[in-house]
Structure 1
Amino acid sequence: MKIVIIGSGNVACHLARAFQENKIPVSQIFGRNESDLKSISHQLQIPFSTDYLADADLYFICVSDAAIGEVSKLITNEKCLVAHTSGSLPKEILEGNYRKASFYPLQTFSKSKNITYSEIPFFVEAQNNQDLELLKNLALNISKKVMASTYEKRKYIHLTAVFACNFVNHLFARAKEISDSQEIPFDYFLPLIKETTEKIEILEPKLAQTGPAVRNDQRVLKLHEELITNEEQLKIYKIMNESIKKMYEL
């Protein structure tokens, strides 16, 4: 089976690495950014092209959500299977007469950060059972956490991921603004962050909550609000504390 990956960003890079590590051959990586493609090709010894899309049995489109529809028009082989890797779009976004699917890895990717691919959950969807089994078996070569999922379910998976990952990382960035303003090394907070994330592996997040809001400690809450001079930080602080209070009916 010939596999081609379309894209040169974080997802394309890591999917190519995951395939290589698990001895799944990739015939080509295709995209617009020649510099990034050359880097991936050099690391993984996969042929690349910016102008010629190789013929394949299976294409993975790993580009931004806004570009998926347009990029999918480049594939003219009507006998192939095409899967995008978006968590928030239906397989029908793909424009072509080929068979359509989605292959969604639930992880945040950065090219410079190594990942244990066997721990990544994959959610797959296809138009028929044969293609679904093909994608499930391909994912099972990488990870033990593989699940068939409809688009309706995947939308909620992606929404949950935004709360659990993107919002949390934004809070890290806002927290660093505060520590930087007082010349406190942010590294000193990493053990706290590590303990917080490790704790929810053994406790329900609701049971793991600590802090002044869950204690309804009005003195500390008022003190913190007086310390915050940044309008956005203060807005976030108040919204988060109100949400905590409502969850615990305080």
Structure 2
Amino acid sequence: MQIVIIGSGNVAYHLAKAFKKSGVEVSQIFGRNATELSKISEELHIPFSTETLAEADLYIISVSDSSIAEVSALIKKENCLVAHTSGSVSREALAGNYRKSVFYPLQTFSKSKKLDYHKIPFFIDAENEEDAEILKNLASKISKNVMLADNKKRKYIHLTAVFACNFVNHLFARAKEISDSQNIPFEYFLPLIDETTQKIHELEPKLAQTGPAVRGDNRILELHEQLITDEEKLKIYKTLNESIKKMYS
């Protein structure tokens, strides 16, 4: 099966790398950013182009959600299989006369960060069972965790991911602002962060909760509020503590 990946960002890079490591041949990577494409091509020895889209049986589109429709219209081949990698966009967003599908990897991707691809869940959506099986078999060469998920289920998967990843990382960034303001090395908090994330491998998150809000220690909550001089941080602090209190009341 001839595979072309469209895109030059983090997801496109890691998909190409995962396929390469698993022995799946990628015929071409295609996109507009010649600089990034050439870097991927040089590292993974995959041909690239910014002008001519190669013939393929499967095109995987890894671009921003807002660009999926525009980019997918570039594919003129009929009856090929086309998949995008978004968690929140339906397969109907693909604009062309071909078989439409979704090939969604649930992970946060950075080009500089190595990943264990076998642990990354893949969620598949397709117009028919045959195409779903093609994509499931392909994902299974990369990952041990592959399942079907229609558009509604993927939206909830992506929403959960935003809470579990994006929001949590934002709190890390806000926490670092506080530690930096007091010249406390943020590295000192990494063992705490590691233990917190590791603990939910063994306990339900609700059972793993600690801190002054779950204990109902209002004295400490008030002390912390007095220390926070930034309105945005204070709002976050109060909102999250109220949410914790409600969960355990």
Band of TM-score, shorter chain: over 0.9
Q: Which residue of 2 aligns with 1:12?
A: 12
Q: Which residue of 1 aligns with 2:210?
A: 210
Alpha-carbon separation, structure 2, partners of 1:5 and 1:110: 17
Alpha-carbon shift at residue 81 of structure 1 (Å): 0.2
CA deviation string 1:51-86 (max 9, x = no partner): 111010000000000000000000000121000000
1:101 partner SS: strand
Supply the AA of the counterpart residue of 1:227. Answer: L
Supply the AA of the counterpart residue of 1:230. Answer: D
Superposed, which structure 2 residues align to 1:37-52 within 5 Å? 37-52=37-52
Alpha-carbon separation, structure 1, partners of 2:217 and 2:25: 58
Q: Which residue of 2 aligns with 1:227?
A: 227
Q: Which residue of 2 aligns with 1:171?
A: 171
RMSD: 0.4
Supply the AA of the counterpart residue of 1:243. Answer: S
CA deviation string 1:34-53 (max 9, x = no partner): 10000000000000000111
1:75 partner SS: coil
Aligned-pair identity (%): 71
CA deviation string 1:184-232 (max 9, x = no partner): 0000000000000000000000000000000010110000000001111
Alpha-carbon separation, structure 1, partners of 2:232 and 2:109: 27
Q: What 5-or-longer segments of structure 2 have no aligned partner?
A: none
Alpha-carbon separation, structure 2, partners of 1:144 and 1:41: 27
Supply the AA of the counterpart residue of 2:59. Answer: Y
Alpha-carbon separation, structure 1, partners of 2:229 and 2:149: 45
Alpha-carbon separation, structure 2, partners of 1:68 and 1:19: 22
Superposed, which structure 2 residues align to 1:79-98 within 5 Å? 79-98=79-98
Q: Which residue of 1 aligns with 2:129?
A: 129
Superposed, which structure 2 residues align to 1:71-150 within 5 Å? 71-150=71-150
1:191 partner SS: helix
Alpha-carbon separation, structure 1, partners of 2:176 and 2:230: 13
Alpha-carbon separation, structure 2, partners of 1:60 and 1:17: 14
Q: Which residue of 1 aligns with 2:236?
A: 236
2:60 partner SS: strand
Alpha-carbon separation, structure 1, partners of 2:199 and 2:193: 10
Q: What 5-or-longer segments of structure 1 have no aligned partner?
A: none
Supply the AA of the counterpart residue of 1:176. Answer: K
Alpha-carbon shift at residue 103 of structure 1 (Å): 0.4
Supply the AA of the counterpart residue of 2:187. Answer: D
CA deviation string 1:65-113 (max 9, x = no partner): 0000000000000121000000000000000010000000000000000
Supply the AA of the counterpart residue of 1:41. Answer: S
If the length of structure 2 is used for normalisation, what is the TM-score?
1.00
Alpha-carbon shift at residue 144 of structure 1 (Å): 1.0
Alpha-carbon separation, structure 2, partners of 1:218 and 1:162: 29
CA deviation string 1:140-171 (max 9, x = no partner): 01111000111111110000000000000000
If the length of structure 1 is used for normalisation, what is the TM-score?
0.99
Alpha-carbon separation, structure 2, partners of 1:79 and 1:240: 49
Alpha-carbon separation, structure 1, partners of 2:51 and 2:232: 45
Q: Which residue of 1 aligns with 2:151?
A: 151
Alpha-carbon separation, structure 2, partners of 1:241 and 1:79: 53
Q: How many residues align?
A: 249
Superposition misfits of 4+ residues, deviation over 6 angstroms: none
Supply the AA of the counterpart residue of 2:65. Answer: D
2:54 partner SS: coil
